[in-house]
Amino acid sequence: MASKTAKVILDSFNKLIVENDFHKITVDMIMKAAEVSRATFYRYFKDKYDVMNANFKNLLDYYVSPQKSSNYRDLCYHLFEYGLEHLQVFKKAMESTGFNSFSNFIYEYSYQTALEITKQNRDGQGFTPAEELQADVFCNGICAVYKNMVNQRYKISASDAADALYEMMPESLKHYWWVTDPDLLRSERL
């Protein structure tokens, strides 16, 4: 997140969600904790859902980078490990419901990220119809995994979880990753 002010708002929300259920948090509470005006809050975020979902977006953007992860298996490991370390925050975020819910955002943002990685590796071509279905099922499954993880259903290490999730990925997509150098991408295709 580029702005210091947006980070202050996000950090304030993160402190509030540790102590409060999501549905009890209001924009006014976030503004007060961040010491920002209503106009400043709405310059950066649409509502409290947008603030909450910015957490996952920032987390995924951080770990999906080639500097942090070299493939989807690494990404699954980092996300599972982070989720286990911040279990209560994720549990409270999962309480949100409706179109702007955290689980819906996880699905949408994960799907779009996988699609963008695929397009980069295929000269702008996205999923085939079969891959679209597979990516849809996989990304929806990731939401279910996070819900079950926060409810401590799994007794599995982050490494074992990452291996299991990676094995479930569509075979035609699992080996793609971000390439920062377009010349490297072209040479790998030759």
Query: Do 56 and 139 sit in the same domain of this protein?
Result: yes
Range of the structural domain that residue 31 is part of: 1-45
Angle at 93 (CA atoms; ends 34, 80), nearest 5 degrees: 115
Closest CA to 108 of 70, 56, 179, 149: 56
Spans of the chain, pLDDT less than 50: 1, 184-190
Query: Do 79 and 115 sit in the same domain of this protein?
Result: yes
CA–CA distance from 178 to each of 60, 67, 71, 188 (Å)?
13, 10, 8, 13
Query: Do 29 and 123 sit in the same domain of this protein?
Result: no
Query: Do 3 and 63 sit in the same domain of this protein?
Result: no
3-state secondary structure of 155: coil
Please, where are the H alpha helices in the chain? 4-19, 27-34, 38-44, 48-64, 72-85, 87-93, 102-121, 129-150, 158-168, 182-189
Query: Do 94 and 133 sit in the same domain of this protein?
Result: yes
Query: Do 109 and 156 sit in the same domain of this protein?
Result: yes
Structure tokens at 62: 């951080």
**Sequence-separated (6 or more) residues with CB below 8 Å from residue 143:** 103, 104, 106, 107
The count of domains in the chain is 2
Around Cβ 38, how many Cβ atoms within 10 Å? Answer: 10
Query: Do 57 and 79 sit in the same domain of this protein?
Result: yes
> DSSP state, 156?
-
Residue 185 lies in a domain: no
pTM: 0.83
Give the model confidence (pLDDT) of 141-159 as tens digits: 888 888 888 888 888 898 9
Structure tokens at 42: 């709405």
Query: Do 24 and 12 sit in the same domain of this protein?
Result: yes
Which of 45, 64, 79 is where one domain is finished? 45
